Amino acid sequence: MRKIREEKNVEFLVNIRYRIEGEKLIQTFEFSSSSKKNFIYLFDPRFLFKNKVDSLLSEFLLKDFLQRIDEENKITFLYEKQEIPKNCIRKLSAYIPPCFGCEYCSKAIQENDFIFCPVKNKHYPFPGVKRCPVFKTKNKILT
């Protein structure tokens, strides 16, 4: 029997911490989720998480960082020594569709019984392809 994929809402907790090491201030954005499988969505530009992570970084980024270090579950920024802000925790959540194709793509345009992809300049019968390399998630929430 074939398993049917369902849409889901994925959540991450982001622990934002600061510490001084020598003459440097280190700011860490550490991401945690209920499942390690969710980390594939975090930095992928096809999904809403990429925009949410970028917004969070711009909100908490201090002035004049020297270096950025990206890892699977955290992002670290190095700064010249300065006043330490308070540590905090934020929650990020986003919709993950059941498939990465036309029906859930923000670029696709539905025209009667067809879906038009402006990137590929092609028409597909509804619901379109199930998996696409130019896919970008719609801004949809679970109901």
92 and 103 share one domain: no
In order of 11, 19, 26, 51, 63, the CA distances from 37 in angstroms are: 12, 29, 28, 19, 33
Look at residue 16 and tell me whether its pLDDT is greater than 50.
yes
Q: What are phi and psi of 47, to 5 degrees?
A: -110, 160
70 and 21 share one domain: yes
Q: Is residue 27 part of a domain?
A: yes
113 and 74 share one domain: no
Q: What are phi and psi of 51, to 5 degrees?
A: -65, -40
69 and 128 share one domain: no
DSSP annotation string for the chain: -PPPP--EEEEEEEEEEEEEETTEEEEEEEEE-S-GGGHHHHS-TTSHHHHHHHHHHHHH--SSEEEEEE-SSEEEEEEES-PPPPPEEEEEEEEE-SSBSGGGBSS-EEETTEEEETTTTEEEETT--SB-TT--B------
79 and 109 share one domain: no
Q: Is residue 2 part of a domain?
A: no
112 and 78 share one domain: no
The 10s digit of each residue's pLDDT in 46-92 is 988 888 999 999 999 998 899 999 998 999 999 999 989 999 999 99
**How high is the mean pLDDT of the chain?**
88
48 and 106 share one domain: no
Distance CA 83, CA 69 (A): 21
Domain that holds residue 115: 99-135
Q: Is residue 81 part of a domain?
A: yes
CATH code (residue 92): 3.30.70
Whole-prediction pTM: 0.80
